[in-house]
Amino acid sequence: MTERNTTLVIGIIGPPCSGKSTVARVVESRGGVWIDADAIAKEQLSDAEVIADLVESFGIAILASDGSVSRAQIADLVFGDDDESHRRLKKLESIIHPRTHRIIQSRLDTATARGALYIILDVPLLLESGWESQCDQIWCMQIEPARHRQLLAARGWSETELARREQRQLPWAEKRRRSTWVIQNDGSVDDLREKVVRMLNQSRPAPTTHRS
């Protein structure tokens, strides 16, 4: 008899600066694969074909002085309440999302085929975009508001900017309801790491066996 591991796919959700990256790194250190959709999408902004499509759609003003795409300028164009902002957001998504989706799916398939113990799927709007169906569990970060404001400020985020980006998302109460675990990030980084290790120990499915 030989032992065969089953990959546990964990979707991680939470607002910016809530501790998602710390959780993902802990899972990674325990034999997991971290699929970071933000990093993948950022890589696409360096692709010549993508840059050309963005300039054609939004104009040369989206480029920084070095010819790279200005993420801040793109954000100003697409995160707004008016119909034109909504239209621009849909156009941006039509350029970036199909490429990002293919890469995420490829990495999921590869990690599963290689028998990774865990995959941590870190995708913005994970529930809204349908990735929930590929997850065994959803982990939702929660952080006390005053502490969250401090962390956002340290990263250069304003509450107004956060609200602007979250206006088309599901309410966080609904996201927490649909989550397997809600992780209260209310202590030190070491406290958070310990929570994640305990959750992994509780969540890990028992290995299955088959005859070789």
Numbered residues of the known binding site for ATP: 17-22
CB 3 within 8 A of CB 115: no
Q: Which two tokens stand for residue 6?
A: 């089953």
Binding residues: 17-22
Q: Which two tokens stand for residue 36?
A: 């970071």
CB 12 within 8 A of CB 122: yes
Mapped onto helix, strand or coil, the DSSP state of residue 18 is coil
**Strand boundaries in 146-207, DSSP class E:** 181-184
131 alpha carbon, distance to own chain's centre = 10
Strand partners, 63: 69
CA distance 212 to 208: 13
Backbone φ and ψ of 144, nearest 5°: -65, 135
CA distance 49 to 90: 18
